[in-house]
Each structure stands twice: as structure tokens, then as C-alpha cells.
């Protein structure tokens, strides 16, 4: 789509908003003031700004709906492209070609402002090279808060709302101010809110972060003077006052906003308070561990929000960390630094094409200690006697070594869009590949449910015998849900070490939030389906997955060349 913008004053978006904590909760006026109005401010006050599409249709009144369409539970690829084109032409600092979703537009704006390229398989951000220097510069007064924000957002991409404080002393200053404000409005506060605010003032921001859960979902804790509404309102008001004071006295700021995602900015489910001084004095490993723990907590399906006591975001993972050290080692088999711009095949893959792709991935993953995928090699050696002529030292014997390749785990899509013919073709293709590899394999079928895992013993069996084994396994039916596969693999280190292959038609939309995609999960197309339709669905899936795994196209076995 080609977007044309006329008579618009290029803007810089400011995340500051002051949604009232009284009356009904309505974030739309704040969304309009923060996101929409700056995009429609006219360059010439005598004429309005206008935004039109390629057909000349006026999109000016549709901007709020277009932005909101990018903030749903699943990623809207068409809406993302349209809004990025609008932002690219209306904002001073925005790269419309960014792979990051619209939900992270403030991070993209901050990155462009500081001339930081968007993260990609070839552009990696780390705590050592980016977060640590940015924190030191902000603490010393020589760096911008936008650079610190962009470095944290580009490195860790947390789906939360953050506020930074220069030091624990700056946070103490906010708590003192908050106590004064809550005392002034004590008569209007419900007892539960007053208690939670009092508990909040006992927090100490001496570590890297302090994080809280404030809502179960978007509809929770939206009552008048709820703790979630009052705390965010007070934080925003405090930032606004600090900005005004710093401007009058020509001082540097010691508090600011970290708007990691747009949805969390206006209706946060969690808050992360960040100590910049602690970041500047910490090791890179400690910083990475802290933010990885926050992301792990945000992705956890179990979140308990109490109405009577403060709910710490990272309490469960920290408790688990006392029993086991957390580490994130790069696993072999992950796609490398090649760009995700790869071409799709013109014709469906043959059994040989898929076999070559699977073998290539297995070889790249390397050897394991034990598996069902046994690899035997035999070579001549004089260290062993010849079996037929054991007394002849001039004739070598044979030595057989046994090595183990990673196990193969198959997940076959059996949702309503997969016919019985598609299922049978997929199974037969797997049987042929398993026979060629001469291995046993693990198997699940899935729709919006996941079947029980079974191990199919295909080694040294005929095709008919293996097919009879498959026929005995009940298959689930219903809708399509990939997230359960991701979570199922990530829940077990044993399954993480396997080569997981999902046979699917790609009719699924990923969530807009960043999720932990298994490093060794690959995809292959269903058989007996229209190839052009399959390629279109795979392209749409790959485009929608850029914010989760930019190199996802390299995981589509048998589909790309």
C-alpha cells in the first residue's frame, strides 16, 4: 500500500500521559493525545493534515482504529504494514522497514533518534556492548534517556511498562512525594488501595529493578482509585513535574518513562522500576540475567495478582532460581547470521529434498550422549585382528564406532483444515524419511489440543508395519494452536535437545508479544495440498513472525532454496 501524507508537521511522540484515576477508565483520550494528534498536526495551520492511500481514500479518521488493530492478541500483518508506512512519513525518527511490531514503536523511535539500527540476525544488542555503556552515560549526564531506553528495548524487548530512576536516592524522592500525595487524597482512597500504596513506600530500589504485577488482564483493576490506576497516574504526574523542574533549573532528569510496548503504556499489567546507577555498576551477566528473568516472568502463564499485598512479578522465577542456576547457552542447530530473505520453492519438495534438509539440520546440531538416532561407522584398523585371518598381522580388522545424533520429534497438524488425505500423505512421507534414516522417532498430533507423546519404533520395520503403528495412535481434531507446541518443548530440556519438526499448513497467526520460540523447532509443509496456497500461507506466517524469530524462513524445511 502507498500512503500519501500532506501538510503534516513531522512529529516526535511523547509517551507521557495522565489518565485520571477517577471515574470510568477510558484510555482512548490519552491514546488520541499521545499517538494520534501528533500525527495529524498540520504544518500550515490554515489547512488540515491529510493521509490517503493509493486509491485516494482518506485514512485520517481511521488512524486510531489502524493503530489499535496492531495491538491485538495476534499480529495483523496488513495493518502493521499500513501503520508503519504512516509512521515512517509522519514521525521525524522512525524506520518503516523495521522488523519490530508497531507495538514497539517508541523503541523504534528512540533507536532511530540515536542512530541505532533495528535488531536483526546480523545486528545483535547485548548488555555488555549496549545497555552497560548507555547506563553509564545516562548516570554521568552525558547520555540521553532515549539511548538507555532503546538499548534495553532492543536487547531484551520486555512487554511491560517501565520507569527509570537515576539511583535508589531518586526513587526515595519519588516515594516521599507519593506519600504526600496519598495523604492529601486519603479520604477518597479505598482501604485496599491505601494499604497497597503504603506497602509500595516500603520498597527499596537498591538492586537493578523492582517489578510488580498490577493487573490480571486488561479488564482487571480498572475501578475508580484502584491501585493500578493510582500508581501509574502518580508515576506519570511525577515524571511530568520532574521534567518541568529540570527545564526551569536547567538540570538533568533523574526519572523517566520506558514505554516498551504501546499496549502496556496505556493499560499496564506489570510495572518495572529500573535503577540506572545499579545498571551502570553491575556486570553484563547480572544485567542480562535480571532482564531475562523479567521476560521469563512475563511469559509465565501463572500470574497471581493479590488485592491485599503487593504482587512481585519475578517472585516465582526467583524462587526457582535458588534451586537451579539460570543459564541461556546458545544451542547448536540454531539458524546462523544469514538474512531471512530467502526464496520459496516453485514446486512441492520431494522426499529427497526433505531428507537432505533434515540431515543438514541434524549434522549442524552435532552429536549427543544418547538418543534413538544411532549413527554407526566402520573403519579398517590394525588395532584389531582380522576376523577371518586373526593370525595374519598384515591384514587389518574392522572397528565399529557408535555415535548418537539428536532425536527426531514430529508434530503433525490434524486441525480441521487438514484432510485425511493430507494426514496420510504426511505420515507416509515421514515413514519414508524415518526408514531412510533408520531411526525411531517421537510423535504428537495437535490441533488446539496436543495428543499424548509416543515413540514410534520404525527401525528395521517395513512401511506397512510402521503405518499400522501410526493407525493405532488417536489423533486430535479442532482448531490450530502453535503456542502449546512451543511451551511443550521449552518445558523440557530433553525435548529442547531434539530436532522438532512440525508438519502443518501454516494457518495460524502468532501473538503480537515476543515469545520464546524453541531453538530446534523447524517446520515442513503438509503434502497433497495446493502449493501456491501453501507458499502464500507460509509467507504470511514468516512475515508475522519477524518480531519473534527474524530468521524463521530458514526453519521452513523443504520450502526454501
Listing DSSP states for 160-193 in one string gives SEEEEESSHHHHHHHHHHHHHHHHHTGGGS-HHH
Q: What's the rounded Cα separation, in Å, for the pair 219 and 247? A: 37
CA distance 210 to 293: 12
DSSP 363-400: HHH--BSS-SEEEEEEEEEEEEE-SS-TT-TTSEEEEE
Give which of 242, 265, 260 is closest to 252, Cα–Cα: 242
Alpha-carbon Rg for the chain, nearest whole angstrom, is 28
Q: Where are the domains of the chain?
A: 4-321, 351-366+406-555
Residue 499 and residue 368 in contact, taking contact as beta carbons nearer than 8 Å: no
E strand or H helix that includes residue 402:
strand 396-405
Cα separation of 143 and 137, whole Å?
4
- In the numeric block, the cell 480441521 is attached to 416
Residue in 381, 405, 411, 376 with CA at minimum distance from that of residue 393: 381
258, 421, 489, 501 from 430: Cα distances, Å: 48, 14, 20, 10
Q: How would you label 122-161 residue by residue, b for 16+ Cβ within 10 Å and e otherwise?
A: eeebebeebbbbbbbbbbeeebbbbbbbbbbbbbbbbbbb
pLDDT by residue for the chain (561 residues), tens only, comes to 688 999 999 999 999 998 999 999 999 999 999 999 999 999 998 999 999 988 888 999 999 999 999 988 888 888 999 999 999 999 999 999 999 999 999 999 999 999 999 998 889 999 999 999 999 999 999 999 999 999 999 999 999 999 999 999 999 999 999 999 999 998 999 999 999 999 999 998 999 999 999 998 888 889 999 999 999 999 999 999 999 999 898 888 999 999 999 999 999 999 999 999 999 999 999 999 999 999 988 887 666 677 777 888 877 666 655 555 434 444 444 444 444 457 888 888 888 888 888 888 888 887 766 666 665 667 777 778 887 888 777 888 877 766 777 888 989 998 888 888 878 887 888 788 777 777 788 888 899 889 888 888 877 788 888 888 777 777 888 889 999 999 999 999 889 988 999 999 999 989 888 888 999 999 998 877 788 888 999 999 998 898 888 888 889 998 887
- Would you say 345 and 561 are in contact if contact means Cβ atoms under 8 Å apart? yes
For residues 32 and 264, give the distance between their C-alpha atoms in angstroms, rounded to a whole number.
16
Alpha-carbon distance values, 367 to 363, 370, 403, 404 (Å): 8, 9, 7, 6
Into which CATH architecture does domain 351-366+406-555 fall? 3-Layer(aba) Sandwich (3.40)
Q: How many CB atoms lie under 10 A from the CB of residue 390?
A: 11
Reading the block at residue 378, the C-alpha cell is: 566402520
Residues 6 or more apart whose Cβ sits within 8 Å of residue 535? 344, 345, 559
CB atoms within 10 A of CB 488: 18
Tell me if 100 sits within 8 A of 123, measured CB to CB: no
Distance CA 30, CA 32 (A): 5
Please choose, from the candidates 534, 442, 519, 518, the residue with its C-alpha nearest in 3D space to the C-alpha of residue 485.
518
Instruction: Round to whole Å and give the CA distance between 251 and 453.
Output: 62
SS3 of 503, please?
strand
- The pLDDT value recorded for residue 391 is 79
What letter would DSSP give residue 487?
H
The Cα 215–Cα 314 span in angstroms is 15
Parallel, antiparallel or unpaired: strands 373-385 and 396-405 = antiparallel
CB 277 within 8 A of CB 287: no
Report the pLDDT value the prediction gives residue 316, as an integer from 0 to 100: 67
Q: How far is residue 376's CA from residue 50's CA, in Å, rounded to a whole number?
A: 69
pLDDT at site 331: 43
Q: Are 110 and 153 in contact (CB under 8 A)?
A: yes
d(CA 33, CA 45): 18
Contact in structure between 484 and 456 (CB atoms under 8 Å): no
Task: Write the DSSP string, 265-296.
Answer: HHS-SEEEEEEHHHHHHS-HHHHHHHHHHHHH
Residue 146's alpha-carbon distances to 107, 170, 384, in angstroms, are 8, 18, 69
- Tell me, rounded to whole angstroms, the distance of Cα 387 from its chain centroid: 58
- pTM (whole model) above 0.75: no
Which string of b and e fits 352-384 if b means at least 16 CB within 10 Å?
A: ebbbebbeebbeebeeeeebbbeeeeeeeeeee
Amino acid at each position: 500500500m502507498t500512503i500519501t501524507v500532506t501538510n503534516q508537521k513531522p512529529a516526535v511522540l511523547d509517551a507521557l500521559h495522565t489518565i485520571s484515576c477517577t471515574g470510568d477508565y477510558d484510555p482512548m483520550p490519552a491514546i488520541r493525545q499521545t499517538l494520534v494528534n501528533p500525527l495529524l498536526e498540520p504544518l500550515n495551520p490554515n489547512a488540515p493534515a491529510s493521509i490517503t492511500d493509493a486509491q485516494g481514500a482518506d485514512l485520517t479518521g481511521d488512524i486510531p482504529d489502524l493503530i489499535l488493530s496492531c495491538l491485538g492478541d495476534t499480529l495483523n500483518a496488513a495493518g502493521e504494514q499500513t501503520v508503519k508506512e504512516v509512521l515512517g512519513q509522519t514521525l521525524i525518527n522512525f524506520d518503516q522497514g523495521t522488523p519490530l511490531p508497531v507495538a514497539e514503536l517508541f523503541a523504534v523511535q528512540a533507536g532511530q533518534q540515536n542512530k541505532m539500527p533495528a535488531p536483526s540476525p546480523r545486528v545483535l544488542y547485548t548488555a555488555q556492548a549496549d545497555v552497560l555503556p548507555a547506563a553509564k552515560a545516562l548516570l554521568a549526564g552525558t547520555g540521553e534517556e532515549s539511548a538507555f531506553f532503546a538499548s534495553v528495548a532492543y536487547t531484551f524487548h520486555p512487554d511491560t511498562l517501565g520507569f527509570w530512576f537515576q539511583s535508589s536516592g531518586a526513587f526515595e524522592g519519588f516515594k516521599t512525594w507519593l506519600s504526600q500525595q496519598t495523604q492529601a487524597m486519603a479520604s477518597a482512597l479505598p482501604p485496599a488501595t491505601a494499604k497497597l500504596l503504603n506497602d509500595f513506600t516500603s520498597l527499596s530500589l537498591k538492586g537493578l529493578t523492582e517489578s510488580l504485577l498490577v493487573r490480571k488482564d486488561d479488564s482487571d483493576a480498572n475501578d475508580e482509585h484502584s491501585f493500578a490506576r493510582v500508581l501509574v497516574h502518580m508515576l506519570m504526574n511525577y515524571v511530568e513535574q520532574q521534567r518541568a523542574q529540570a527545564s526551569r533549573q536547567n538540570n538533568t532528569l533523574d526519572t523517566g518513562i520506558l514505554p516498551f510496548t504501546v499496549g502496556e503504556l496505556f493499560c499496564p499489567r506489570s510495572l518495572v522500576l529500573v535503577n540506572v546507577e545499579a545498571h551502570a555498576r553491575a556486570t553484563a551477566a547480572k544485567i542480562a540475567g535480571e532482564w531475562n528473568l523479567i521476560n521469563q516472568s512475563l511469559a509465565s502463564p501463572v500470574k497471581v495478582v493479590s488485592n491485599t499485598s503487593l504482587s512481585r512479578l519475578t517472585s516465582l522465577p526467583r524462587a526457582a532460581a535458588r534451586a537451579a542456576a539460570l543459564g541461556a547457552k546458545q544451542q547448536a542447530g540454531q539458524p546462523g547470521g544469514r538474512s531471512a530473505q530467502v526464496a520459496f520453492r516453485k514446486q512441492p519438495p520431494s522426499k529427497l529434498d526433505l531428507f537432505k534438509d533434515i540431515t543438514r539440520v541434524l549434522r549442524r546440531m552435532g552429536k549427543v550422549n544418547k538418543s534413538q538416532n544411532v549413527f554407526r561407522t566402520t573403519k579398517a584398523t590394525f588395532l584389531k585382528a582380522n576376523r577371518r585371518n586373526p593370525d595374519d598381522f598384515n591384514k587389518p580388522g574392522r572397528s565399529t564406532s557408535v555415535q548418537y545424533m539428536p532425536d527426531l520429534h514430529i508434530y503433525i497438524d490434524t486441525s480441521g483444515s487438514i484432510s485425511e488425505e493430507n494426514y496420510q500423505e504426511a505420515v507416509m512421507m515421514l515413514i519414508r524419511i524415518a526408514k531412510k534414516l533408520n531411526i525411531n522417532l517421537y510423535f504428537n498430533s495437535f490441533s488446539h489440543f496436543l495428543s499424548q507423546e509416543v515413540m514410534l519404533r520404525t527401525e528395521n520395520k517395513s512401511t506397512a508395519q510402521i503405518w499400522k503403528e501410526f493407525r493405532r495412535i488417536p489423533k486430535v481434531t479442532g482448531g490450530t494452536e502453535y503456542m502449546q507446541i512451543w511451551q511443550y518443548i521449552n518445558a523440557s530440556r530433553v525435548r529442547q535437545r531434539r530436532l522438532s519438526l512440525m508438519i502443518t499448513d501454516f494457518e495460524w497467526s502468532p501473538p503480537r508479544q515476543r515469545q520464546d520460540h524453541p531453538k530446534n523447532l523447524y517446520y515442513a509443509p503438509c503434502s497433497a495440498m495446493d502449493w501456491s496456497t501453501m507458499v502464500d500461507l507460509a509467507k504470511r506466517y514468516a512475515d508475522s513472525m519477524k518480531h519473534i524469530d527474524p530468521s524463521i524462513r530458514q526453519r521452513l524445511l523443504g520450502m526454501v532454496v
